[in-house]
Chains A and B, each alone.
Chain A
Amino acid sequence: MDSSQLLGITTFTYLFASFLYIATLVFRSNRIGAVATWFTAVALLIQTAGIGLRWIESYRMGIGHAPLTNMYESVVFFSWTIILLYLFIEWKFKTRTIGAFAVPLGFLAMAYASFAPINKGINPLIPALQSNWLLSHVVTCFVGYAAFAIAAALGVMYLLKAYFGSDKKDVAGLLPPLSVLDDIIHKSMVLGFIWLTAGIITGAIWANSAWGTYWSWDPKETWSLITWFVYAITLHARYTRGISGKTIAWLSLIGLLSVIFTYYGVNFLLSGLHSYGSS
């Protein structure tokens, strides 16, 4: 059994988990819900084992490093943080309906990792990436990205309910109350904002120790700052101008677009210091 098999299995278990959560929502069944939770938790364990094994495999190859160094590995880790964070939210807020929107994001990330034409090999690290800051930089950024992804999933739920929620019989009627959604969107954004801040800071410290410049307006840096501004604006709008509801839900989607562009678009469309991510 090697790591790529475990991660391949993860892709399909997340797909099945997504169906389970959607069934939970549609049939309003707590029994299916309990199965969905357990199934997702086991899938998360398999993925954790896969990531851990990949780490060990890199040491066996004599090029040991944390499995966070190319697009494939980062997407796998992104999926892992989304699911972990989702399970935490399910436990904390005692609601499974979010799973029907968040778990598919974890699946989509794994599906992209598995089926997109990207390099899935374990590669040695180029000199610039050989740093202790690698781990803390990538982990902080991706916890932030995962929180923003979940905020956006909640934003979709909010908008569905707000625009189509009049009839109690349709799917919108199955979703949690708008005030609850609004509250969790806000909390996810706050969490994401703090971790993104930490991610930008660890990146700046790393850049300074590698190149002597903590900030060089490289496209990736600039886009991470743009994303930071989007969420800073959102949080200010909510705190000081009392804006909530639909506007914040839309902003959660705009924020995620900015995250995706920072993470993905910059690597493929623009050039810069982070170009290793395109391999």
Chain B
Amino acid sequence: MYKNNSLWQFFASVKLALLILFLIAVTSIIGTVIPQKEAAQFYVANFGPTYARIFQILDIPDMYNSWWFLLLLFLLGFNLIICSIDRFPGVWRQVKSDGLAVPAERIRNMSTAAEWQVDRPLADTRDSIVKTLAARGYRATAKSAEESTILFAQKGHWTRTGVYIVHASILVIFVGAIIGSLGGFKGSVMIPETMSRDKVFLFGNKGTQDLGFSIRCDDFSIEFYDNGMPKEYTSSLTVIESGQEVLAKNIEVNHPLKYKGITFYQSSYQPTQDFVIEIGLPDGKTRKTFLTPFQEQIEWDEPGLQFGVINARVRGQEIVTAKLWFSDGNDSPESIWVDNDKPAELERESGTYTVTVKQLYATGLQVAKDPGVWWVYIGCGLMLFGLYVAFFMSHKRIWVLLSREKAGTAALLTGSANKNRPGFEKQFADLAGLLKTGERDV
């Protein structure tokens, strides 16, 4: 029998479970104290070459993905499975056990008990007790002998599996994590406004991942509070698949875009040295947008315009105002300072042009595909449900022994619960009172 095997005993022991939990908890501290996923030089500079070498050998710089940490997690999962296989059959027997098979002697000796006598025949008494129990949610089964009847009813027999629901939930979460790491990816991409990308860079220098479609950033903007704190980062994204625009959405932090199982999260931004210049002609209708590097001349042939950004004032990396050089070929060229992303008017002999000069931003997106995430969520829900069942719900059992007496019937009510006994005692007392008075009322 495998259960006598000492290796089986080893993995089925709670001592081992406690040891593994302890080891995971203690080793986890290392990664919170020693910064993770830094370059090799970082560890040499901060901890010296000897420690850096030891860290490298033990995979400390990425300890949560190291072989030994994953082994601990695997052992935890394995221990959970073996513990459950070892103990579940016994628990299942208790769930399935027939209360009527309990010897009358044991029922009589239970500490939670109430006794009374009625002057009615046994069958009547039995029927009315069954009815009262049913009204309380206890469905009774009966076993009758010549001079006596045993009634048995129970509630929450399945709640004995609560602990195993919790253990199973951890395994479901592990399964979700494995599905996610095998079938998904995580990466990032920088997309300058007006441009599109069809690849992302995977984290951990693992190369690139083709998306199977491309994603365009139409616009990026930052909103600020009055005190200068950032209020919102917004990117207008368009998904383009086989030349068709299939989806457009403004994403913000906490409000990502999802397409074909791949999710795009707003995560950073980068001001560039390029500009987007929008020119509106004096006719008030024709407008056109141009993308230009700093200090380079652009031409718009048809109306015969030449222009470019020749100077800029910056705060940090952000352009505050830019100096636009403009020529329409008629009178002498001119240069004006315009605020970033604010429309300005240019009075020329040929009419009034509207110009907007905007610094080009690139939006930084985090990109993730995780087909295991729903497993993880189901596991989490299962865990909360299992914890509630394991700690707050109990298996309550009730027996009634009825025996024929000369002047009627003697009744003995007993009961037991596997948890929260004080609570059960109260319910039991209520039930006993109800059954006794019920007898008198009829």
A contacts, CB < 8 Å to B: 63, 123-124, 126-128, 130-131, 190, 193-194, 197-198, 201, 204-205, 208-215, 217, 219, 222-223, 225-226, 229-230, 232-233, 236-237, 240-241, 266, 270-271
A197 to B380, CA, bound (A): 9
Q: Which of A128, A217, A230 has the most CB atoms of chain B within a 10 A radius of its CB?
A: A217
| Interchain CB contact under 8 A, B229 and A123 | yes
Q: Which residue of B lies closest to A190 (CB)?
A: B391
| Interchain CB contact under 8 A, A127 and B29 | no
| Interchain CB contact under 8 A, A130 and B254 | yes
| Interchain CB contact under 8 A, B24 and A124 | no
Least CB distance, A244 to chain B, in whole angstroms: 15
Least CB distance, B176 to chain A, in whole angstroms: 9
**Chain B 127-138 against A: per-residue CB contact (8 Å), 1 yes, 0 no?**
000000000000
Q: Which of B15, B24, B253 has the most CB atoms of chain A within a 10 A radius of its CB?
A: B253
Q: Is B46 an interface residue (CB 8 A)?
A: no
| Interchain CB contact under 8 A, B383 and A124 | no
Out of A63, A126, A205, name the residue touching B377 (CB < 8 Å): A205
Out of B21, B32, B368, name the residue touching A219 (CB < 8 Å): B32
Q: Is B158 an interface residue (CB 8 A)?
A: no
* With contact pairs A130-B253, A222-B28, A240-B14 given, residues A211 and B391 touching in the complex (Cβ less than 8 Å): no
| Interchain CB contact under 8 A, A226 and B25 | yes
Q: Is B33 an interface residue (CB 8 A)?
A: yes
Residues of A contacting B: mostly: helix
Q: Which of A123, A194, A205, A223 has the most CB atoms of chain B within a 10 A radius of its CB?
A: A194
Least CB distance, B160 to chain A, in whole angstroms: 13
Q: Is B142 an interface residue (CB 8 A)?
A: no
Q: Is B22 an interface residue (CB 8 A)?
A: yes
* With contact pairs A217-B31, A229-B21 given, residues A210 and B254 touching in the complex (Cβ less than 8 Å): yes
Q: Which residue of A lies closest to B223 (CB)?
A: A127
**Chain B 370-387 against A: per-residue CB contact (8 Å), 1 yes, 0 no?**
100100110010011001
Chain B residue total in the interface (Cβ 8 A): 46
* With contact pairs A127-B230, A214-B373 given, residues A270 and B33 touching in the complex (Cβ less than 8 Å): yes
| Interchain CB contact under 8 A, A236 and B17 | yes
Least CB distance, A69 to chain B, in whole angstroms: 12
Q: Is B265 an interface residue (CB 8 A)?
A: yes
| Interchain CB contact under 8 A, A201 and B384 | yes
Q: Is B227 an interface residue (CB 8 A)?
A: yes
- Pairs A–B under 8 Å by Cβ, sample size 28: A127-B231, A127-B233, A127-B252, A130-B232, A197-B384, A198-B384, A201-B384, A205-B380, A208-B370, A208-B373, A210-B265, A212-B263, A213-B186, A214-B373, A217-B31, A219-B31, A226-B25, A226-B29, A229-B24, A232-B21, A233-B18, A233-B22, A233-B25, A236-B18, A240-B14, A241-B14, A266-B32, A270-B32
Out of A194, A197, A209, A236, name the residue touching B254 (CB < 8 Å): A209
Give every chain A residue within 8 A of B370 (Cβ-Cβ).
208, 212
A210 to B64, CA, bound (A): 22
Out of B14, B28, B231, B376, name the residue touching A124 (CB < 8 Å): B231
Q: Is B94 an interface residue (CB 8 A)?
A: no
Q: Which residue of A lies closest to B227 (CB)?
A: A124
Q: Which residues of chain B from 24 to 38 have a CB within 8 Å of any chain A CB? A: 24-25, 28-29, 31-33, 35-36
* With contact pairs A204-B380, A214-B373, A229-B21 given, residues A127 and B28 touching in the complex (Cβ less than 8 Å): no
Q: Is B293 an interface residue (CB 8 A)?
A: no
Give every chain A residue within 8 A of B366 (Cβ-Cβ).
211-212
A205 to B267, CA, bound (A): 17
Least CB distance, A269 to chain B, in whole angstroms: 9
Give every chain A residue within 8 A of B15 (Cβ-Cβ).
241
Q: Is B225 an interface residue (CB 8 A)?
A: yes
The 7 closest A-B pairs by CB, nearest first: A212-B368, A127-B253, A229-B25, A219-B32, A217-B64, A240-B14, A201-B380
Q: Which residue of A lies closest to B35 (CB)?
A: A271
Least CB distance, B164 to chain A, in whole angstroms: 13
Q: Is B300 an interface residue (CB 8 A)?
A: no
Least CB distance, A143 to chain B, in whole angstroms: 14
| Interchain CB contact under 8 A, A213 and B254 | no
| Interchain CB contact under 8 A, A233 and B21 | yes
A226 to B191, CA, bound (A): 38
A252 to B41, CA, bound (A): 41
Q: Is B367 an interface residue (CB 8 A)?
A: yes
Q: Which residue of A lies closest to B258 (CB)?
A: A212
Q: Which residue of A lies closest to B369 (CB)?
A: A212
Least CB distance, A188 to chain B, in whole angstroms: 12
Q: Which residues of chain B from 249 to 275 have a CB within 8 Å of any chain A CB? A: 252-254, 256, 263, 265-267
| Interchain CB contact under 8 A, B387 and A194 | yes
Q: Is B388 an interface residue (CB 8 A)?
A: yes
* With contact pairs A201-B383, A212-B186, A233-B18 given, residues A127 and B254 touching in the complex (Cβ less than 8 Å): yes
* With contact pairs A209-B256, A236-B17 given, residues A214 and B376 touching in the complex (Cβ less than 8 Å): yes
